[in-house]
Amino acid sequence: MTYARRTTRQIHVGPVAVGGGAPVSVQSMTTTKTADVDGTLAQIYALAGAGCDIVRCTCNEQEAAEGLARIVPRSPVPIVADIHFHVEMALAALEAGVQCLRLNPGNLRKSSEIKLVASECRDRGVPIRIGVNAGSLHPDLYEKHGGATPEALVESAQMELAYFEEVDFHDVKISVKASNVPLMVESYRMLSEVTDHPLHLGVTEAGPPPAGLVKSTAGIATLLLEGIGDTIRYSLTADPVEEAKAGRQLLESLGLRERKGLDLIACPSCGRAEIDVIKVASDAMAALESRHLPIQVAVMGCVVNGPGEARQADLGIAAGRKRGHLFIRGKIVRVVPEDEMVAALVAEAEALVRDGFEARLAAADAGAEPEAEADRRALLTAQGDDPNAVEHKVDLIRKH
């Protein structure tokens, strides 16, 4: 399923297109000192490996700018320089060759300096992200609107845009972030009505997982499902690689990016489960995730409902009577001993990616389906009727 996305103009952060129908991109930020070139590059490569398309680095001092000059040519992804209070750092970052600047209107406030940076970016073909933040809003706007309201955040972005337009600079993306999710959502909705510049989504200062993941997903996913947003960042108090993974997984879950990695689904377990679902799912995740297989895999606790409920998964396994029923898109292809479930799942996943669905379905064990059906019926007899067999319940009700 696809969603009607809001039409925006397109900019390029290095080779990465943002807006204008381009795939929604994932961004994160390094936590190393930018002057630590090797440490920062190691983190950038880890972020790129986790699905990050664009990486932001702090440029807060001369040593950081010098570090950027050494980092940019060796980076596998475009680099955005984060500029806070000093216009000199913006100009230094441009000299270092960064592919984008991020300016916070609440921090860099002099109109002459803002227009100077915009002019330099215009001449170099480097875009700017206007990074409005509810926590660092200009005091005048805070007073005018009685706080950090959606109107205040949007007006801050518009004021910055006006300075850019004075020097004929238009390669801009915008964010209006807040740590309060409803405020963030409403701010982006309002902004999307008054500009066609691409929007960078994020819930700022979301905090550590799991709460930070929940807040970020609540805000970002809500807007993406409304067709708003061209690039995203999870702002977590955690290893930034977790931000990149979360962003990539969200886009894949919403069908906004092609699947590149594993999507493991599992039942929540119940009294009908024949195995420790949490352990088997964790073992399967640990064994499969590092292989970067672009498939959806299901781990189900029982054979009564498992293969049917997870029939949309590319591959799955369900437990019953000390055995595992291995299935491909709902079709049983093999029955294996319980202690071999994870190993069988991994082997079949690799074969499925290598050989394709038709070949693996053709290689199914001849007796797998009747053997699995016998297990299922035996468990139904032992545990009671299938809870989804409502017609049987209806017949009993009618008899009374």
pLDDT at 63: 97
Extents of the domains making up the chain: 11-253, 263-383
Q: What is the DSSP string of 182-239?
A: HHHHHHHHHHHHH--S-BEE-BTT-BSTTHHHHHHHHHHHHHHHTT--SEE---BSS-
**Which secondary-structure segment (H or E) carries 323?**
strand 323-328
The CATH number given to 11-253 is 3.20.20.20
- The yes-or-no answer to whether 11-253 and 263-383 have a common fold is no
Q: Which fold has domain 263-383?
A: Sulfite Reductase Hemoprotein; domain 1 (3.30.413)
pLDDT at 305: 66
User: What is the 8-class DSSP label of residue 21?
Assistant: T
pLDDT at 291: 86
Task: Note the pLDDT tens digit of each residue in 271-308.
Answer: 666 677 788 889 989 998 888 888 999 988 876 666 77
Predicted TM-score (pTM) of the model is: 0.85
Low-confidence spans in the chain with pLDDT less than 70: 1-3, 269, 271-274, 303-306, 383-396, 400
pLDDT at 163: 95
CA distances from 88 to 6, 55, 130 (A): 36, 21, 18
